[in-house]
Chains A and B, each alone.
Chain A
């Protein structure tokens, strides 16, 4: 990666970590569009709990604790895991070598 590419990458990851780790606490907790529509149209009651609803990160909280630190930690873990998974897969399937440089 060029120097400017590296700067963009570092700034981008830092921004994602701040958004998921800090800003997310202030997100709206009103029902989202699908939930709201399901309530209104009358099929919200058919939703079932996910099989992993009891997982330690369920509902974007660390061990279900509703505080800033727990929510922030969950967000940071999510960003890092997504970065590893998507970054890893795309790195593996890429064409090797920079085009035009052999």
Chain B
């Protein structure tokens, strides 16, 4: 077996220069804002988890899993990161992953870096975490509720990022194509990839919830309730 890892992000050339400059500016502005806002999510306990999550997303993105019709997909990890360490921190973590991939591994173009950050570190986080918060508000405040919200929002974040790419392509694609063709090609395959995204996100959030529920940003509202319910002696040491 001889596989080149092929975690393809948007390469140079797909989008024209003005669009790439615009997404670059949007990405830079978002990262600057996230550097200030992430402070509210990060402390001595949670900061180490943020670095770990980014490293894990890098590793996870190397694993292309097969989906139908001879194509493959890989984790994005935006919802996973946002649920574990918070949305502003997720912007920073995802940007770090994309930067390392573009600069060291030639994965995703350099001029397309702003586009990839806009799609995967900004849009996927905003849409995914937005859906997660919306669902969390109506679902029961339990472990199952958190995992359901994480799974559904992870699933939706993938086609959302794919459609956002189509939007950018409509604005500044290198070639003029009927939009319908691009939409239909992008949507089906990314819905399938979204299922993989949901499965990986639920598995990992579930594993961290099992050992350190207090560290999971998206489960802060349940961890207090669970600790009260769960009067085992172990629970007492959790809120450290």
Contacts and interface: CB of A to CB of B under 8 A. Distances in A.
B64 A28 contact: yes
9 contacts: A16-B55, A17-B59, A26-B3, A27-B63, A33-B190, A43-B182, A87-B54, A88-B51, A89-B35
Interface stretch (B65-73, B131-139, B145-153): B65-73
B43 A97 contact: yes
Contact of B177 (A36, A42, A61, A74): A42
B45 A98 contact: yes
The 5 closest A-B pairs by CB, nearest first: A87-B51, A86-B54, A48-B13, A46-B174, A60-B5
A34 B7 CA distance: 10
Contacts of B44: 1, 94, 96-98
A14 to B, nearest CB: 11
A63 to B, nearest CB: 13
B50 interface: yes
A17 B56 CA distance: 8
B96 A42 contact: no
Given A28-B72, A89-B96, A94-B44, A43 B106 contact: no
A58 to B, nearest CB: 4
A50 B120 CA distance: 19
Contacts of A42: 175, 177, 181
A29 B3 contact: yes
A50 B74 contact: no
Give the interface size class of chain B. Answer: 35 or more
The A contact surface, by secondary structure, is: helix
Interface string B189-219: 1101100000000000000100110010000
Nearest to A80: B55
A93 B92 CA distance: 11
Interface string A25-52: 1111111111111101111001111111
A61 B107 CA distance: 12
Nearest to A50: B106
Q: Which of B102, B193, B215, B240 has the most CB of A within 10 A?
A: B240
A71 to B, nearest CB: 7
A13 B55 contact: yes
A77 B50 CA distance: 18
B10 A57 contact: no
A37 B56 CA distance: 27
B59 A16 contact: yes
A90 B42 contact: yes
B123 interface: no
